[in-house]
Amino acid sequence: MDRLWSPWRYQYVSQQAPKTCIFCEKAAERRDPDNYVICRARHNFILLNLYPYTTGHLMIAPFEHVATLEAAAPETLEEMMRLTRLSEASLRAVYRPRGLNIGMNIGECAGAGVAGHIHMHVLPRWPADASFLTTIGETRVLPEDLPTSYRRLLEAFRDRARTAGLSLSFPATP
């Protein structure tokens, strides 16, 4: 069996976990444009990922700090799925992706970057969006910066919120 050693990764896996939860912080701060929070519903909020895999990489997180689906209230999960559907429609309208990745990593061993707080990832995808730079060079090439993505998606979510049957609050236009 061949082995590929990656000593640079040790720094990441051995560092101390942050003392606070990034989702709980962003929910409490109420600085939505600064935190790239697109909208807030009753139980969840939608925000852009600061370290996106693709342009438009969204996350949907509950306000309640829960680590598993089993621990989350049914109404939180139901709303999360409705927000996921709204996210899909908004991403399709803005970016015209050829596909989407939608899902969760629950627990550190499953790949969750924030293992103690469930959150749904919604990523638009295109053919060859993971090039050799991503595969070999561990570098992502994103054609749009976060402020531009935020402005475009905020507008798309506002346009589609009326027909989604959700009570959403939006920040002032940045």
- In the set 43, 57, 117, 119, the catalytic residue is 119
Q: What is the DSSP letter of 143?
A: S
119 a catalytic residue:
yes
Type of residue found at 45? F
Long-range contacts at 96-99 (CB < 8 A, ≥ 24 apart): 97/56, 97/124, 97/125, 97/126, 98/125, 98/126, 98/127, 99/124, 99/125, 99/126
How far apart CA 48 and CA 161 sit, in angstroms, is 17
Rounded to whole angstroms, what are the CA distances from 22 to 26, 137, 158? 6, 28, 25
| Cβ–Cβ < 8 Å for 43, 76 | yes
| Cβ–Cβ < 8 Å for 116, 140 | no
- Residues forming the active site: 119
